[in-house]
Structure 1
Amino acid sequence: MRQTLAGEDGEFNAEHREEVRGLLRLFPIWATCIIYAVIFSQSSTFFTKQAATLDRRIGATFRVPPAALQTFISLTIITFIPVYDRLFVPAARRFTRLSSGITMLQRIGTGLVLALVAMVVAALVEARRLGVARDAGLVDDPKVALPMSLWWMVTQYVLFGLSDVFAMIGLQEFFYDQVPDALRSLGLAFFLSIFGVGHFLSSFLISAIDGATKKSGASWFSNNLNRAHLDYFYWLLAGLCAAELAAFVVVSRVYVYKKRVAHHDHDDGGAVM
């Protein structure tokens, strides 16, 4: 009896250790997607504050609410998901021979690239907005709408939506598929924890940078956005995203999928490039 119990305990411990190893092998992918979540959090915070300073008129009387621009993210996702499934996947399938078109890690990597491009565009648009404020003599009148159309910001919202189609959906699929079978319920928790940690890190970065730049007398996050430097912050996030993307490429190239091609139509490795 004791030998039987000892054998069962040994099998349980071995299975437990295997499950823990299965979770730990996902951590590098998890860690290299945190900056994506930091970038994602800007669309509902600073982007909205920027939009509030622009000319939001449509027609003689209607003014577009600043937060309404987030609708473009949802519209882009709704529009592009069918395009992804019906056009992109069949086209990619001809080159990769995978029924999914590209692997999950390639999909996530593409989303990270789009997030990087979105931050570069956001930085350029913000630099233009600050230039318009200076040229119009409205630097010290933050409540006056700048002579710059709201539509200048649409591109970065659309890029965010495209990034979500690749990265966010890819991350959800990856963590659900790649966690150990006995811990499948943790897949969604892994996915959501990326954004929880990312939002926390975003707040930490903003607090740290605000404290540091206030000492020089010109905070990047001044309440008067016409005297702030959100463009610097966006360039910083773009640089961090580029570093994250490089790390993600390295990690994904050595990652081996849990299932074989015959089961999940994935290749043996997860190379992004």
Structure 2
Amino acid sequence: MDRHIGPSFQIPSGSLTAFFVGSILLTVPIYDSLIVPITRRFTGNPHGLTPLQRISVSLIFSIVAMVAAALTEIKRLKVARSNPLAMDKRETVPLTVFWLVPQFFCVGAGAAFAYIGQLDFFLRECPKGMKTMSTGLFLSTLALGFYISSALVTIVHQVTGEAWLADNLNRGKLYKFYWLLAVLSLLNFGLYLVSARWYVYKETREVAAEVEVESMIGLELTETEARSHA
């Protein structure tokens, strides 16, 4: 894609992740200053959203990001095929690289919600002696995700050959791989919702335990009074 800004400057391809990092840095203050006050009015939660709700928002962003990536790749292929010279991998497709910004933004925003939600969940819900370990567990999920990503690329490449992930992207069908990721993200979101509905927060469990203890004490007092009257 065309990475030029102005007549002379060209954006290095490796620096495009700056949009991803910038999206994270932008999402966090927007969440704290805008989203939390608004959601607080509807949920009654002083934190706005619960940790599990934040993670669910991040999964929605991941689905939107993959859809945006697929649509962008379809657009890029149309432009490439309308320019015969661009079908050669040595030629640049006359389409600005800023078409990639929406998917980078969605991935970055989703990562911000996931990081905040997972760390908040681990720190609030884990026992005191496991809080440090939970942070390590959070980081291990990132590493596991990279391994799964590599494995998925390898499997798709072996199954489809050069049809999807061709060395020359202009002759491949990379958009199908993005659609596959969107479907997998949707399935992952569904499984997450089922699992999240089963979870009961520590605060709720503690309140329920206190109510149960109080009810048991009250029942014992009632039985004692009944015996004394008898």
Q: TM-score, normalised by structure 1?
A: 0.72
Match of 1:16 in 2: none
1:136-190 per-position Cα deviation (integer Å, ceiling 9, x unaligned) = 1146411111111111111111111211221122112212322222222211122
Between the aligned partners of 1:181 and 1:174, the Cα distance in structure 2 is 13
Between the aligned partners of 1:136 and 1:188, the Cα distance in structure 2 is 50
1:144-183 correspondence to structure 2 within 5 Å: 144-183=91-130
Q: 2:53 aligns with which of 106, 111, 118?
A: 106
Flag the structure with higher helix content. 2
Equivalent pair of 2:86/2:93 in contact (CA under 8 Å): no
Determine whether 1:89 maps to 2:45: no
Moved over 3 A (4+): 260-263
Q: 1:210 aligns with which of 140, 144, 157?
A: 157
1:1-273 correspondence to structure 2 within 5 Å: 54-138=1-85, 140-214=87-161, 218-260=162-204
Structure of higher RCO (CA pairs closer than 8 Å, 6+ residues apart): 1
Shift of 1:131: 1.5
Give secondary structure in 1 for the equivalent of 2:169: coil
Between the aligned partners of 2:171 and 2:126, the Cα distance in structure 1 is 47
Tell me the number of residue pairs that the alignment of Structure 1 and Structure 2 aligns.
Answer: 207
Q: TM-score, normalised by structure 2?
A: 0.85
Q: Which runs of 5+ in 2 are unaligned?
A: 208-230
Shift of 1:121: 0.3
* Structure 1 pair 262–183 and aligned structure 2 pair: CA distance change class (3 A): closer
Equivalent pair of 1:179/1:186 in contact (CA under 8 Å): no
Q: Which has the larger radius of gyration?
A: 2
Give the residue type in structure 2 aligned to 1:249: L
Between the aligned partners of 1:122 and 1:60, the Cα distance in structure 2 is 27
Q: Which runs of 5+ in 1 are unaligned?
A: 1-53, 264-273
Give the residue type in structure 2 aligned to 1:146: V
RMSD: 1.7
Give the residue type in structure 1 aligned to 2:33: R
Percent of aligned positions that are identical: 39
